[in-house]
Amino acid sequence: MKDSIPEEHLYLAFSHHCGDSIFPLHTSISLFLLSYCDCKLFKVFLVPTGENADDELITKILPHDLEVCLISRHQLPMVVQSCCLPAVVVKDGTFCRAGLSVVLRHIIQKAYEADTSKKDVLELLGFKKTCLKACAEVSGWTRLCEINIPLAVERLLTKSPEHCQTVPADILELERKLGEPVRVHNDDKIRRQKLQQQKAGAKAAAAEGEPVEMHEHPLPNLELSIAFSKLLVQKVSPTVNREPSHIRKTKTTDLPPLDHVFAEGLYFTLADIVLLPCIHQFLVFFKKQGINLLNLPLISSWYRRIQEVPGVKKAADKCNMQLLQLRELQSGAAEEQLQSCLLISGELQEEHEDNHFIGGPRPTMTKLLESGIQAKFSPHPCPDWTLDWNSLPAAVSPGEGKFMSRDRALRKQQQLNNLIAAVKKLAKPGDVIVDFCSGGGHVGIVLAHMMPSCQVVLIENKELSLIRAKERSDELGLNNIWFIQANLDYFNGTFNIGVALHACGVATDMVIEHCIKARAAFVVCPCCYGFIQNTVKFSYPQSHQFKAILSYKEHMILCRFADQTAVQLPPERRSIGKQCMGLVDLDRAWAAEGQNYSVQVISMEPESCSPKNNMLVGTPA
């Protein structure tokens, strides 16, 4: 049976090694997870980033029981060459998983499928199996674990000692996160248990004549027992008697918060696996410099606690990671840097919290109109063009990807007619066309079938959607299509045309940015305007024309009302929504034109094919 399982290849970058870690840290993290899971399902390849790699030296610093091959970048499969490492691909396959979180989650799933007794491995994915599932572009927590902290530690280690006396802001942010109250499933019940435990302790202390102290952050005895009972596959002894009435009647808001045991709360997850090699290197470096860690008591406690997790020390030994034995620190120590971090974080939070806007879009639209700016749409280049859907194989039809009503399938076909027509005008033989945020492959599969002389790449973060797309492609026998499960930032291949149908909110701007960086044409249909907000990478409005007139808040009002285009709304309201859509997309078009692009904003035909029926077509000048 095992012989039928396709061999999967794991590709990891190698730049250098420092002490007991391999860099980049994404590689150390991946190797640590393989050791922790005792997973030998993957053939592992190390890809040196430099020219001179010492094979013997590399072998010495790798995990003892792991067979690793060295391979140069140009020897990588073509689909992997288009991605940032780490990456996993089935041998001789066209389905690639790229990026740290995607690859680690895949390793966990495969390790569990191979041995379903490894419940502890599956538990790394957390409640509802969502740990680090949200992409870094939209999740601040994923971004902190997957990108910011590894990069912060790598930068720190390259600095000279006199320039590294300050704790990086991202490490301080983790310290702050570890001090936040924990939210877990069924936490109300656990918090009542904690209140009962605190009151019982206070009562016992009073009976013995000791001073009664209710610490704001007492040692998390209850949290520790719950966390480690799960790791040791034990159950916490149930309370025989029902909770006292005064505990039951306590308001939820008056219950004590739960303290962190691990990075995401009470339970050991993939986030802890990702953070351990990074924090370990950070602590080793600071110890060598003789710098005290008094302002990081929570990280220090976490680091000590994680060593108690079954299997962690064994995995560390395999990876030649010599874990430090830190003394317990008191949280009352110097906190100037942490307070500075909290202040910065609070400012950012205030900015994001200013999302509840009052008032309609008319004042903002009038303000733009007074400056000569209003929504404008270019004529559709081929409004009557349509694919002959009846003559195409069934697997090409969007209704085949997953169940759709007949009406919805028809509207999806009409949307595809618009995109395919625009791409056909731009494409030439040999072009690489990327379907960003591809979902089940509605756009990409049609393009690959209709344009066999072009290479089509589907990029999607959701694994199941991409698997459905590959099944349809296999049914059609397409050989000019690749599938990449990754966040947009992990795709770095060259391409000629970027396409996206209903990329949600900021994702549309990410697609356009990716195309501009590659000097590629783009055909995008935006969606979910109401989800647009300032991010690490984007601030709104984007074009200098809109920035000169509108504030961020005013632009957000346009975005919120741009979502008011549903067919069940009154016609006047839909008309205002369409104008707001046009203005938001005009800002996008002008921002791209500022990057030496020619951009048209077009309404799809018929407009009834979707409430979000704008299409932006951009070409580099």
Sketch the domain layout of the chain as residue ranges: 8-179+266-341, 376-533+602-620
Query: Mind listing the pLDDT tens digit for each residue in 216-234?
Result: 444 456 656 666 666 665 4
Structure tokens at 126: 């957390």
- For the four alpha carbons of 190, 191, 196 and 199, in that order, the dihedral sign comes to positive
Give phi and psi for 297, each to the nearest 5: -65, -35
pLDDT higher than 90, residue 206: no
Assigned token pair, 225? 């027992």
Geometric angle at alpha carbon 451, from 76 and 433, rounded to 5°: 50
Kindly report the backbone phi and psi dihedral angles of residue 411, in degrees, each rounded to the nearest multiple of 5, phi listed first.
-65, -40
- Give how far Cα 377 sits from Cα of 381, 557, 603, Å: 12, 21, 7
A 10 A CB-CB count for 213 gives: 9
Token digits of residue 170 = 């991202």
* Sign of the alpha-carbon dihedral angle for 336, 337, 342, 347: positive
Taking the complete model, does pTM exceed 0.75, yes or no? Answer: yes
Note if the bond before 63 is cis, omega within 30 degrees.
no
pLDDT per position as a tens digit, 563-608: 999 989 999 999 999 999 999 999 999 999 999 999 999 999 999 9
- Six-digit token pair at 491? 């795709």
- Please identify, in words, the CATH class of the domain defined by 376-533+602-620: alpha beta
* Residue (of 556, 565, 571) closest to 613 by Cα position: 565
Q: Which two tokens stand for residue 278?
A: 């990074």
Rounded Cα–Cα distance for residues 87 and 106 (Å)? 10
- Worst-scoring range by mean pLDDT, 156-170, 292-306, 456-470, 580-594? 156-170
Cis before residue 606, ω within 30 degrees of 0? Answer: yes
Expressed in angstroms, the distance from the first to the final Cα of the chain is: 56
Is pLDDT at 340 greater than 50 in this prediction?
A: no
DSSP calls for 425-490: HH--TT-EEEEET-TTTHHHHHHHHH-TTSEEEEEES-HHHHHHHHHHHHHHT--SEEEEES-GGG
Instruction: Tell me which of 248 and 219 has the higher pLDDT.
Output: 248
How far apart CA 469 and CA 285 sit, in angstroms, is 46
Say whether pLDDT at 181 is over 60.
yes
